[in-house]
Amino acid sequence: MFKNLILASAVALATTAAVDAAPVDVDIVFVIDQSGSMSNEFSTLGANISTFVSGLAGDANVSSVQAGLVTYEQARLGPTGNCGAGNSCLNVSQALTSNVATLGNALAAEASQTFGGTEDALSAVDSVLPGGSLFTSVGWRSNTVKSIVLITDEDADDENSYTNSFGTGYAALGQKLDSVNYLNNIITITNLFSEFEPASRPNDSLNQALFDLNSFTGAGADPAAFLAQFAAAKLQEITTGGVPTGGSTNVVPLPASGWLVMAGLGALFAARRRKTAS
């Protein structure tokens, strides 16, 4: 009986700890392929971004949310590289911000800034990790759960040229993500799931960190519904496996309620603009 009492007490304490777990601050950086076929992805995400962030900011387990945007094309050359005619370098299009309208505007602006060339997805993700060329400029906050969302319709052209201390290719990037405790979701076409899976986090055989790009922007897709479901999946990852880590800046967090207010204002502004246009 005494043993059962101890066990019951331990379960009760564990349950109480889970219920009383402090909410976390969350930073999310979208890393998006800027090739010519991706214009629709930028504009669609920009028009529906409030759905995604509201899904996170509205949860009691999240105390604040910031999101930013990095674009890539010939990412291995870096932000000051000579990319050549018609190509865009790796770029922080929008540093982490708590303003949903600002992020939406940045996404909309990039819809008309797509290029042809090399898509070095692995280097692009690596650039925002600790020690990467964009780690400081993207503005990660300290003591936040950090997540990357890679969006692309192409495989990584740097599969054989990307290297880090763990090795070469997709799996090496995945190991580096593990070492710094960053999450990495990938929204791409299903034919590329097996290729990108080693670089996704959380990483498992069920492909839970990979999402179908055609369900987001394909024919007959419902972007708002997709982003609502994606936000729910992100929330599960953040609250069950997210680890707060250090950052590159000490920006004072905007409470999650601030995101909800600004998301509402952004939606109201969009509705008024549509009404005026009609």
For the CA atoms of the chain, what is the radius of gyration?
Answer: 19
Rounded Cα distance, 112 and 122, in Å = 24
Q: Which amino acid is at 168?
A: T
* Residue 60 CA to its chain's centroid (Å): 20
pTM, two decimals, is: 0.81
**Which neighbouring-strand residues pair with 91?**
71
C-beta of residue 136 within 8 angstroms of C-beta of residue 85 = no
pLDDT of residue 58: 87
Q: Tens-of-pLDDT digits for all 278 residues of the chain?
A: 433 433 344 444 333 444 456 899 999 999 999 888 999 999 999 999 999 999 999 899 999 999 999 998 876 565 556 565 555 578 899 999 999 999 999 999 999 888 877 888 999 999 999 999 999 999 999 999 999 999 999 999 999 999 999 999 999 999 999 999 999 999 999 999 999 999 999 987 666 899 999 999 999 999 999 999 999 999 999 988 889 999 886 444 445 555 455 455 455 444 444 444 44
Of 95, 44, 92, 52, residue with least CA distance to 72: 92
Estimate to the nearest angstrom the gap between the alpha carbon of 249 and the chain centroid. Answer: 18
What's the confidence (pLDDT) of residue 205?
65
